């Protein structure tokens, strides 16, 4: 369709939209988890039991909250883009497993699975030229 034929020229702008949108949402979700304190971190880190890790749930929860908040900011500016995508991918796989194994089913796990798929793709695509990591 001729109307959309030139949009391919704006791939880097499209990546910027994805980065900023996802970054804002991860900051939005990560901030309350980080500010929730030790009780919140322990509960969040308890999800690691679904991958066989039963030690230091508070530390894992803190790392998950920091990954969401700081990772969201780094996504927006495009710094350390691929490592951030890998960490967020892992975070989301754990979240999906937690939803699936606690009886939530695919309906509750869908959002985490969808975001994990996006981050898996972004690992290969990169941040685009409107980023600190531009090549």
130 occurs within a structural domain: no
Q: Is residue 77 part of a domain?
A: yes
Asked if residue 131 is part of any domain, the answer here is: no
Q: What is the pLDDT along the chain (135 residues), one digit of tens a residue?
A: 678 888 888 999 999 999 999 999 999 999 999 999 999 999 999 999 999 999 999 999 999 999 999 999 999 999 999 999 999 999 999 999 999 999 889 999 999 999 999 999 999 999 999 999 876
Can you give the residue range of the structural domain that contains 62? 15-125
Considering the domain boundaries, does residue 10 fall inside one? no
Indicate the pTM of the whole model.
0.93
Asked whether residue 30 is domain-assigned, the answer is yes
Asked if residue 2 belongs to a domain, the reply is no
135 domain residue, yes or no: no
Query: Please, is 48 exposed, middle or buried when counting C-beta atoms within 10 Å of its C-beta (0-12, 13-18, 19+)?
Result: buried
How many structural domains comprise the chain? 1
Domain membership of residue 134 (yes or no) is no
Phi, psi of 88 (to 5 degrees): -70, -35
């Amino acid at each position: 369709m001729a109307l959309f034929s030139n949009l391919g020229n704006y791939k880097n702008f499209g990546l910027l939209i994805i980065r900023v949108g996802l970054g804002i949402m991860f900051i939005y979700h990560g901030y309350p988890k980080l500010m929730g304190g030790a009780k919140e971190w322990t509960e969040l880190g308890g999800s690691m039991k679904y991958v066989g890790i039963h030690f230091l749930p508070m530390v894992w929860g803190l790392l998950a909250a920091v990954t969401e908040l700081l990772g969201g900011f780094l996504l927006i500016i495009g710094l350390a883009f691929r490592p951030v995508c890998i960490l967020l991918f892992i975070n989301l796989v754990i979240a999906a497993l937690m939803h699936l194994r606690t009886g939530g089913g695919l309906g509750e796990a869908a959002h985490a699975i969808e975001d994990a798929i996006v981050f898996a793709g972004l690992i290969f695509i990169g941040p685009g030229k409107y980023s600190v990591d531009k090549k």
